[in-house]
Each structure stands twice: as structure tokens, then as C-alpha cells.
Amino acid sequence: GRYERRVYKGFFGGLTYLTDLDEEIEDSEKIPTSAIGVDGFYELSRLLIPYFEYDMLLDFGNGYETGVRGGVSFLDYKLAYRTVGEEFEPTLYDQFYETRKSNLDLKDSKSYSGYLGQVGLHLFSLVDFQTRYENYPEKETEIVTEAGTEKIKGIETVSGNLNIAEMSFLPGMWSRLQAGASYKQINVDLNDFEWIDTDNTSFYGYVVYPASDSVDLKIEYVKEPGEEKYTTFRTIIRF
């Protein structure tokens, strides 16, 4: 949940709390299940909003981010400098959380800093697209290559999200049709960039298909670094 209020004129403050309600997590000493964040921003104009954000994974580490953001109508952007402390992951609760949380181990992870740029596109409350570039010169990460596992320092990350909301303009139960996709790749050489078939790529895609008036079928496609691709089928019952 999130609470936000105006503190003084154009200055706003916010408080955010996140938690994983899944009781099946067994190794909570390695996997954080809750986070809290505080943030503030000042609206100089719609195009220029300086901001800061501090986040903490409870019983683990913390990190902070400061920068500027803004936008007009269907387009927005963010430019920031980020510092990630020990035992902290800034994008922990993203679209890949459910697929990778059982493999997380933030204990003894090192701190690093870097910068990021992000652009978002929003069309008619139906389509949301976001792409991000991150560069952490100090971060050391293991990547899988044909020669084996290597430790590389200076990590560049490219990621993107696409979400298509429920299509309310379609007739009947077809108005519940929706889809989405998330993409993330750790890559140290953007001049030799491959989109999907690399060992350093995460991809998650889904389609929600209305099977009847009260039942939806959710099809999910998942690809994680160093693992086989797989597809899952879920049934969603509407009351």
C-alpha cells in the first residue's frame, strides 16, 4: 500500500509498504518478504520534478535514488542516480518476482552505485510501455558464457515492460481480454546485443483469455537466465 500527501506547497511526501503474503516461502533468512519506502518530490513543472526515494528490505539492506522525472500527456521520463546497499535489490518486486524468488539469496551481496534512464508511453488507459537503461560501473556480476561462468565488473542492463489493460471496448466477456510482457537483459556490450536467445535474458509474457462468463484462462511464458523456457496455465474464477 501507499500513502501520499502534500507537505508544503509543491512538495509531496509518500510512504510505501510491500509484503509477500505467500506462506510457502521456507528460507526467509535468504529471501526478503517485506519492504518499506519513503519518498519526496517537488513539482517545479510537469516536465521537471526533482525527487528522492529511500527503500529498505526488512531484515536486509537498503538503498536510495535521487533524480528528476516528468512528462506530458502520454509520455514520461526519469533520470536518476542510484546507490544500492549490501543485501538489497531495488527491483525485487517487479514482474519477475514470483518466478525467481525461490532462487534469491541477498545475503552477503555487495553494494554498488550507478545511473539509469527510463521512458514511458501510455495510450488511452489501454497500453502502457516502459523501457529502461541502467549502468553500474562498480557492480560485479556472474554471467554464463560458452566458455563457462565469468565474473564481470561494469554492468549495463536493458529492460522493458508492456501491459495491455482489459479491453473494455470489446463486447461481452471479450472485454476481459488482456496481455503483458516484461523483458530484462544484463549485457556488457551493447554493440553485440541479442534480444532473446542469450543466457543473460529474463522474459515473462502472459495472456488472459476469457473462457466463459465467469472463468478466465491465464497463459504465462517464462524464460530465466540459465534455465529452460516453460509455459504455465492458470484458471481464474470470477465471482
Yes or no: say if 74 and 123 are a contact pair by the CB < 8 Å rule: yes
Only one residue has cell 566458455, namely: 147
Q: Cell numbers of 122, please?
A: 501510455
Only one residue has cell 508492456, namely: 162
Between 12 and 98, residue with greater pLDDT: 12
Residues 91-111 have a mean pLDDT of 64
Between 105 and 16, residue with greater pLDDT: 16
Q: Cell numbers of 237, please?
A: 474464477
Yes or no: say if 99 and 84 are a contact pair by the CB < 8 Å rule: no
CB atoms within 10 A of CB 100: 16
Domain ranges of the chain: 1-103, 124-238
The per-residue pLDDT for range 144-190, each reduced to its tens digit, is 666 666 666 666 788 888 888 777 777 888 888 889 988 888 765 66
The per-residue pLDDT for range 82-99, each reduced to its tens digit, is 998 888 877 666 655 665
Residues 75-82 have a mean pLDDT of 95
The per-residue pLDDT for range 18-72, each reduced to its tens digit, is 887 765 555 556 677 788 999 999 999 999 999 999 999 888 888 999 999 999 8
pLDDT value at residue 135: 86
230, 187, 183: which is closest to 203 by C-alpha?
183
pLDDT value at residue 77: 96
Between 222 and 106, residue with greater pLDDT: 222
pLDDT value at residue 2: 86
Q: Which of 1-5, 55-59, 102-106, 216-220 has the lowest mean pLDDT?
A: 102-106
Per-residue pLDDT at 229 exceeds 80 = yes
pLDDT value at residue 190: 64
The per-residue pLDDT for range 189-203, each reduced to its tens digit, is 666 666 666 677 888
Between 133 and 239, residue with greater pLDDT: 133
**Could you tell me the sign of the dihedral formed by the alpha carbons of 230, 104, 182, 157, in that order?**
negative
pLDDT value at residue 165: 77
